[in-house]
Amino acid sequence: MDTRFNAAQRKLRLELRDYFKSIMTPEVVAEVVGKEGGPRFREIIRKLGEDGILTLGWPKEYGGKEYTTVEQLILFEEAWSAHTPFPLITINTVGPAIMKFGTDEQKDFFLPKIAAGQCIFAVGYTEAGSGTDLASLKMPAVLDGDEYVVNGNKLFTSSGQDCDYVWLAVRTEKEVKRPSDGISIMIVDATDPGFSFAPINTVGDIETSMTYYENVRIPKDRVVGGINRGWKVITSQLNHERVTLASMTVVGAKQFRRVVKLLDEKSQAGDGPLTDPLVRAKVGELYCRLEAIEVLNLRTATQIEEGKLDVALASGVKFQNTLELIEVLRGLLDLVGEDALVAYPSEGAIFDGDLERDYRSAQVNTVGGGVMEVMRCMVASFGLEMPNTIA
């Protein structure tokens, strides 16, 4: 049993923390926080690309450093904690999918651009009628000569407002045994005149978009993984996405340290909040919750590294992480008191509104990246051999 970070991993975390801190000055943070695009966002991502940071987890043959899963988790956690613009989906979903399913031409064209921070992908999966049940998606792609023609709308297209390409899931076959059989993945050029978007403002300030496709033309060689074989491309990247999602819960640990530091400073003088048993018990409880999340995430990351991911655990960690994070942030708001919900840029906003914003955005993962109820059904069927109640 060995559940803790080793010396090299702790050192790596400190180095990455220093690196991100040097880039993410308070002014820069204020400019980009919550953004998924814009000039400053792009500038930082190009800088990360130049410094080789984006591809630390990639295989060496694609210019990466082959970070282990735990090292990647540390990387994403530190990037996330510092509010660094980091094209997680492009790096951790699209890139690996192209490596696995792409043609040589696709690899040669896209991977160096992604690595250099010069190419950002939006992901167009969700439709108005297909969210929780993604495999039911309907947007058709119709072959016309050497190109597919796409018409329709996508909802919650992450990075849709400032992307170079859209990683688009479309229906290429209606008459299929299972709905997931007729799906294909295609790469849309965002400069296509038929592509447009409209921003969707969200509760957690996370930018996302509605995207529109009007006779958008996609050359045949921009299909990834073959026609009607898109579902495999989508699901094969779930492992990578688990790590991405796990890293997001680091905001709980980060805000916990901040609040404890604040309480501790106020208590140094003597009769401060940390002398109150109620405050101590709440601090203790939150620590207990955070430690359990940390071990679950490290255990999952280690399973991924060993190629032995337990589907039940991975699905369960998704919702457990989310619910515990919400609970921890709630407790931290309690500890901070009545000004906890003063919003940035109001003068009284604590930690420049960071805690208030994190609390607001933490809830999105009850839905985003796999709806909680679906994850629970998977836990019951894979982990407890109960009937499959999803489909």
Partner 1 sequence: MDFNFSEEQQSIVDAAERVFADLCDDDTIKNIGESDVPLHKELWAQLADSGMLGLVVDEEHGGLGMTLVELCLLFELQGKYLAPVPMIATLVECGLVISGSDNVTLKADLLPQVVSGELLLSPVRASNGVLDTAGLAAAGNDDLVLNGVSGVVPYASVAGGYVVTATEDDGHAVIVYCPQGASGLSVTEQRMSSGELAGKLHFENCAVPAAQVVARGASAAALAERQKQDTFVALAALQVGVLDEGLRRTAEYVSQRKQFGRPLGAFQAVSQQAANAYMAIESLRGAYWRALDDIEHGNDAALSTRVAKFWVGEAGHKAAHTILHLHGGIGQDVDYPAHRYFLWGKHNERYIGTPDDMALDVGKLIAADATRVLNAGTAA
Given the residues 71, 78, 127, 241, select the one marked as catalytic.
Answer: 241
Does 13 engage in binding with partner 1 (CB under 8 A)? yes
Is the CB of 223 or the CB of 317 nearer to partner 1? 317
Report the distance separating Cα 56 and Cα 67, nearest Å.
6
Does 275 engage in binding with partner 1 (CB under 8 A)? yes
Does 260 engage in binding with partner 1 (CB under 8 A)? yes
- Which residue of 101, 156, 167, 256 would you call a contact of partner 1, by CB under 8 A? 256
Cβ pair 117, 48 in contact under 8 A: yes
Q: Given the rule CB under 8 A, which of 21-29, 57-65, 292-300, 339-347 is the region that contacts partner 1?
A: 292-300
Is the CB of 98 or the CB of 375 nearer to partner 1? 375
Q: Which two tokens stand for residue 349?
A: 């906003």
Question: Dihedral (C-alpha) 26, 327, 125, 236: value to the nearest 10 degrees?
Answer: 100
- Which residue of 176, 198, 281, 311 would you call a contact of partner 1, by CB under 8 A? 281
Q: Which two tokens stand for residue 260?
A: 């404890």
CB of 369 to partner 1, least distance (A): 16
CB of 241 to partner 1, least distance (A): 19
Q: Is 343 left (phi over 0), alpha (psi -120 to 50) or beta?
A: beta
Does 107 engage in binding with partner 1 (CB under 8 A)? no
**Contacts of residue 133, Cβ cutoff 8 Å, sequence gap at least 6:** none
Does 277 engage in binding with partner 1 (CB under 8 A)? yes
CB of 20 to partner 1, least distance (A): 14
Does 279 engage in binding with partner 1 (CB under 8 A)? yes
CB of 332 to partner 1, least distance (A): 13
Whether omega for the bond prior to residue 26 falls within 30 degrees of 0, making it cis, is no
- Which residue of 135, 274, 341, 367 would you call a contact of partner 1, by CB under 8 A? 274
Does 303 engage in binding with partner 1 (CB under 8 A)? yes
Report the distance separating Cα 37 and Cα 31, nearest Å.
11
Cβ-count burial 102-124 (b if 16+ within 10 Å, e if not): beeebbebbbeebbbbebbbbbb
Report the distance separating Cα 194 and Cα 101, nearest Å.
27
Kindly tell me the burial class for residue 300, based on how many C-beta atoms sit within 10 Å of its own C-beta (0-12, 13-18, 19 or more): buried
Cβ pair 220, 198 in contact under 8 A: no
81, 31, 10, 2: which is closest to 247 by C-alpha? 81
CB of 269 to partner 1, least distance (A): 14
Does 7 engage in binding with partner 1 (CB under 8 A)? yes
CB of 318 to partner 1, least distance (A): 10
Is the CB of 338 or the CB of 385 nearer to partner 1? 385
Is the CB of 237 or the CB of 321 nearer to partner 1? 321
Q: Which two tokens stand for residue 267?
A: 């208590």
String of contacts with partner 1 for each residue 361-380, x by CB under 8 A: ------------x-xxx-xx
Tally of CB atoms within 10 A around 362: 24
CB of 365 to partner 1, least distance (A): 15
Is the CB of 200 or the CB of 260 nearer to partner 1? 260
Q: Helix, strand, or coil here: 183?
A: strand
Report the distance separating Cα 220 and Cα 146, nearest Å.
6
| Catalytic residue check, 241 | yes
- Which residue of 115, 319, 325, 329 would you call a contact of partner 1, by CB under 8 A? 319
Active site residue ranges? 241
- The residue ranges that bind partner 1 (CB under 8 A) are 1-7, 10, 13-14, 17, 70, 253, 256-257, 260-261, 264, 267, 274-275, 277, 279-285, 287-288, 291-293, 295-296, 298-299, 302-303, 312-313, 316-317, 319-320, 324, 373, 375-377, 379-381, 383-387, 389
